[in-house]
């Protein structure tokens, strides 16, 4: 009797448990996210067009020998400062010395023939005064003397030329400067005019940089640029001195040379940043946002806008006009005064509740130690 009364109760409890196991679980409530908020406002453009440039000497010379020969020695190294008149390199002078000795011997032979012709002319001149010979015979002796003198002049010129070639075996710096390139090594046989060294002469400095073809028309000779050193805290105002008339065949950019007018010394090869004032983008205030606030809504950019009444967010598509450093300029989609999520946007969903992030309060500062006077 007892078993029959509890059996239906057990069946009911079992059915309840089965129904409870088959029902869907209640979804967990989405957490409230803490985000950083910025208020959209108008701001001026801060950055303009910047280009990387290099400091170079205004005058650079490629030096080579005026005669051919074997390079015997090179007396300078890359980066070394040289003085005007200093011997930079030397060719083997042996062949030049032998040629000069041969020219000197030819000059001696020509001088001997000239002296002999002069003695004959004097003797025949005395005979002509005594009417022992005809005038034609004296003229032949005079002609022979002039021919001998011409041979002497020719030998002297040849000796001087070979003497110059002996001097040309020494490569001499025509001005003080710094060696910026070494193009030949001892042992090489060089033709006349082959570059051996490149010297950046002391004096005025230039900054060289390249600009694309859509900007080159705005840079004219005499326009001002701001030059900032990359490795040091210094800057200067410079003037555009030269703009290339044709584009580089590889990069398709135009080279611009800027003359540094200030007294400050800029090291050769230093990297600088050039900001042309003609390409300054300053203008009316614009709406700007940090790049961390941007999201993607399909193929368009968007931001999370805070609805302060409900403390929820909604996705707002925007149009971007351009970039300004680490910020973007908004063309449309936002208005001044709207609040946008700047940090934490990647974990949000439409309609999600948020709270404004509050930084933790800094720990109480310990009391300062008493000073020596106290």
Does this model's pTM top 0.85?
no
Annotated domain spans of the chain? 33-44+283-356, 60-92+172-200, 94-168, 203-279
Pick from 339, 347, 288: which is nearest to 316 by CA? 339
CATH topology of domain 60-92+172-200: OB fold (Dihydrolipoamide Acetyltransferase, E2P) (2.40.50)
Alpha-carbon Rg for the chain in angstroms: 46
Alpha carbons 63 and 283: distance in angstroms, whole number: 50
What pLDDT score was predicted for residue 265? 74
What pLDDT score was predicted for residue 236? 86
What pLDDT score was predicted for residue 159? 85
What pLDDT score was predicted for residue 282? 66
CATH topology of domain 94-168: Helix Hairpins (1.10.287)
Same topology, domains 33-44+283-356 and 203-279? Answer is no
Q: What is the CATH number of domain 33-44+283-356?
A: 2.40.420.20
Alpha carbons 344 and 347: distance in angstroms, whole number: 6
Those residues whose C-beta lies under 8 Å from the C-beta of residue 204, and which sit 6 or more positions away, are 57, 58, 59, 259, 260
Secondary structure (DSSP) of 262-319: SSS---TT-EEEEEEGGG----S-EEEEEGGG-EEETTEEEEEEEETTTTEEEEEEEE
What pLDDT score was predicted for residue 10? 66
| CB of 121 closer than 8 Å to CB of 206 | no
Give how far the C-alpha of residue 166 lies from the chain's centroid of Cα atoms, to the nearest Å.
41
- 249 by DSSP, 3-state: which? coil
Token pair of 268, please?
């050769």
For residue 76, CA distances in Å to 178, 187, 231, 344 come to 10, 15, 28, 61
What pLDDT score was predicted for residue 22? 57
Alpha carbons 121 and 146: distance in angstroms, whole number: 10
What pLDDT score was predicted for residue 300? 84
| CB of 35 closer than 8 Å to CB of 345 | yes
What pLDDT score was predicted for residue 364? 43
Alpha carbons 209 and 50: distance in angstroms, whole number: 10
Give how far the C-alpha of residue 151 lies from the chain's centroid of Cα atoms, to the nearest Å.
59
pLDDT in tens, 225-235: 989 888 777 88
Question: In which residue ranges of the chain is pLDDT below 70?
Answer: 1-30, 45-48, 262-264, 281-283, 325, 361-374
Those residues whose C-beta lies under 8 Å from the C-beta of residue 369, and which sit 6 or more positions away, are none
**Alpha helices, DSSP H only, in the chain?**
2-22, 94-129, 135-168
Alpha carbons 167 and 160: distance in angstroms, whole number: 11
What pLDDT score was predicted for residue 182? 93
What pLDDT score was predicted for residue 12? 64
Q: Which CATH architecture has domain 203-279?
A: Beta Barrel (2.40)
Pick from 51, 294, 87: which is nearest to 170 by CA? 87
What pLDDT score was predicted for residue 372? 35
What pLDDT score was predicted for residue 7? 62
For residue 229, CA distances in Å to 55, 258, 335 come to 10, 14, 39
Strand partners, 242: 257
354-356 and 33-39 as β-strands: parallel, antiparallel, unpaired? parallel
What pLDDT score was predicted for residue 6? 63
């Amino acid at each position: 009797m007892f078993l029959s009364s509890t059996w239906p109760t057990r069946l009911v409890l079992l059915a309840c448990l089965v129904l409870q196991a088959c029902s869907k679980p209640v979804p967990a409530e989405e957490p409230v996210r803490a985000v950083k908020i910025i208020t959209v406002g108008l701001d001026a453009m801060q950055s303009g067009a910047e280009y990387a440039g290099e400091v170079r000497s205004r005058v650079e010379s490629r030096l080579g020998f005026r005669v051919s020969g074997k390079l015997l020695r090179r007396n300078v190294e890359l980066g070394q400062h040289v003085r005007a008149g200093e011997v930079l390199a030397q060719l083997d002078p042996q062949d030049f010395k032998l040629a000069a000795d041969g020219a000197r011997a030819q000059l001696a032979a020509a001088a001997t023939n000239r002296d002999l012709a002069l003695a004959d002319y004097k003797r025949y001149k005395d005979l002509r005064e005594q009417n022992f010979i005809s005038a034609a015979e004296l003229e032949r002796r005079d002609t022979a003397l002039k021919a001998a003198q011409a041979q002497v002049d020719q030998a002297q010129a040849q000796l001087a030329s070979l003497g110059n070639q002996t001097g040309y075996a020494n490569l001499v710096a025509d001005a003080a400067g710094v060696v910026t390139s070494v193009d030949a090594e001892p042992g090489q046989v060089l033709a006349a005019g082959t570059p051996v060294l490149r010297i950046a002469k002391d004096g005025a400095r230039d900054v060289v940089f390249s600009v694309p073809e859509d900007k080159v028309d705005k840079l004219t000779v005499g326009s001002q640029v701001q030059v900032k050193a990359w490795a040091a805290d210094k800057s200067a105002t410079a003037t555009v001195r030269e703009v290339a008339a044709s584009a580089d065949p590889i990069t398709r950019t135009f080279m611009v040379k800027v003359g540094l007018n200030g007294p400050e010394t800029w090291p050769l090869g230093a990297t600088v940043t050039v900001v042309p004032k003609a390409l300054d983008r300053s203008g009316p205030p614009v709406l700007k946002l940090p790049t961390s606030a941007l999201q993607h809504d399909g193929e368009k950019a968007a931001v999370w806008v805070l609805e302060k009444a409900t403390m929820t967010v909604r996705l707002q598509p925007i149009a971007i006009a351009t970039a300004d450093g680490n910020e973007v300029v908004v063309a449309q989609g936002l208005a001044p005064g709207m609040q946008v999520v700047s940090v934490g946007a990647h974990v949000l969903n439409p309609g999600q509740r948020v709270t404004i992030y509050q930084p933790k309060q800094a720990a109480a500062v310990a009391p300062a130690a008493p000073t020596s006077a106290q």
